Amino acid sequence: MSLLNLSFIVLLGILIFVLYFHFSNSFLDSYNRKSNGRFKFENSIRVVIFILPAFIVLFIFILYPVFETVRLSFYDKFGREFVGLYNYKWAIDDPEFRRSILNNLGWLLIVPTFSTFFGLVIANLADRIWWGSIAKSIIFMPMAISFVGAGVIWKFVYEYRGPENTQIGLLNAVIVSFGYEPQAWLTIPIWNNVFLMAIMIWIQTGLALVIFSAALRSIPKEMIEASRIDGASELKIFFSIIVPYLEQTILVIWTLITIIVLRIFDIIFAMTNGEWQTGVLANLMYDWMFRGGGDSGRGSVLAIVIMLGVIPILLWNLYKHKQEQNI
C-alpha cells in the first residue's frame, strides 16, 4: 500500500465517525425544529445516536468475546465439536502450563511489590530534595517507551560474550571487573525470570512514583512537622505516618500493577520467547493461537485462566462503584 493510499484511508477512517455524529445529530436537530419541539421521540433517538457506536464496539470487542471464549474452551481446536472439560484437563496435565502458572505467580508477587515499594521510597525522597522533580522525570521515563524497546535496552545490558572476549553488556562488564566469570543471564533457569522481572519493575516504578507523588501532597504538612519537632526520625515518620496515611493509594497502585503484570506478554516474547523456562500464560496462549494452525480450545482455556486472576479485582471495582452511587 502506497503512503498516499495509507494516509487517505487513515483520514477516511477518522472522518467517518465525525461525519456520522455530525449529520445524524444535525438532521435530528433540524427535524425537531421543524416540528417546533413537539417531536416526541427526540430524546430517545438522541440517546441512540450518542451511544450506538460505542455500544456496538463494546459488544463486539468485549462482551461477545468473553462469552465466546468461555464457549470455545469447551470445544475442539476448530471450535466445532463439544469436548467437555478436555481442554481443562489438558492444561492441568501440561508441564508448560504449570511452569507458566508458577512464573505468573512469581511475577505477580515480585513486580507489584517492588514497583510499589520503590515508587513510594523515591516519591518520598524526591519530595524533599530541590532537584527531586528532575529525578522523578528520569525515573518516570521508562513508562513512555514500549515493552519491546525496554526489552532491547535490557538485552543490551544483559548481553553475553564468551569469557575470552571483551564484554559489551554492562552487567557482565561489571561482573568481570570484579573478577567473576561472565554469565548468559537470560538462559539460567529460575534466575532469568528475575532478570526479566527487573525490566518490568524498572518500568512500573514510574507509574507508582507519579501516583504517590500526587497522593503525598494530601498529607497535612503540620503532622509531619510536628512529629519532626518531637524528635521522630525520618524512617519513623515514613513507617508510622506516611505509609499508614497512603494505605489506600498503596492498595490502588498494587492492584493496578497487578492487572498490568497479569497480561505481561511483550517483554518475554521479545527477550526469550518463553524459552529457558520463562514462559507465562499470555505467551503460552499466543503460542497456542498459532501453533499447529491454532487451537482455539486450548488458547481459550489459557485466556480464561488469565481472566480468573482479575475477577476478584473486577468484583471489588463493581462493589466500590455501587457504594459511590449510593452516596
Q: Which three cell numbers stand for residue 294?
A: 491454532
Residue 131 CB, nearest approach to other proteins (Å) = 8
**What is the distance between the alpha carbons of residues 156 and 307, in angstroms, rounded to a whole number?**
33
Q: Give the CA distances from residue 178 to residues 30, 172, 325, in Å, rounded to whole numbers and listed in that order.
A: 79, 10, 60
Pick one of 105, 109, 148, 251: the residue that binds other proteins (CB under 8 A).
148
> Which residues ranging from 248 to 277 are in contact with other proteins (CB under 8 A)?
252-253, 256, 259, 262-263, 265-266, 269-271
Interaction of residue 83 with other proteins, rule CB under 8 A: no
Q: List Cβ neighbours of 201 (8 Å cut-off, separation of 6 or more).
A: 110, 111, 114, 115, 118
Pick one of 91, 111, 120, 126: the residue that binds other proteins (CB under 8 A).
126
Return the closest-CA partner of residue 280 out of 291, 290, 269: 269
Residue 50 CB, nearest approach to other proteins (Å) = 4
Residue 113 CB, nearest approach to other proteins (Å) = 17
Piece of 83-91, 109-117, 186-194, 313-321 that binds other proteins (CB under 8 A): 313-321
**What is the distance between the alpha carbons of residues 80 and 77, in angstroms, rounded to a whole number?**
8
Residue 106 CB, nearest approach to other proteins (Å) = 18
| Residues 222/268, Cβ–Cβ less than 8 Å | no
Piece of 4-12, 91-99, 107-115, 219-227 that binds other proteins (CB under 8 A): 4-12
Pick one of 92, 105, 109, 141: the residue that binds other proteins (CB under 8 A).
141
Which C-beta is closer to other proteins: that of 85 or that of 146?
146
| Residues 120/243, Cβ–Cβ less than 8 Å | yes
Q: Give the interface size with other proteins as a residue count (CB under 8 A).
A: 117
* Interaction pattern, residues 12-51, with other proteins; x per rule: CB under 8 A: -xx--xx--x---xx-xx--x----x----xxx-xx-xxx
Q: List Cβ neighbours of 77 (8 Å cut-off, separation of 6 or more).
A: 293, 294, 295, 296, 297, 298
DSSP 218-250: TS-HHHHHHHHHTT--HHHHIIIIIHHHTHHHH
* Interaction pattern, residues 216-255, with other proteins; x per rule: CB under 8 A: -----------------xx-----------------xx--
Residue 200 CB, nearest approach to other proteins (Å) = 13
Residue 186 CB, nearest approach to other proteins (Å) = 11
C-alpha R_g of the chain: 26
- The label of the residue with cell 462493589 reads 319
> Which residues ranging from 174 to 203 are in contact with other proteins (CB under 8 A)?
202
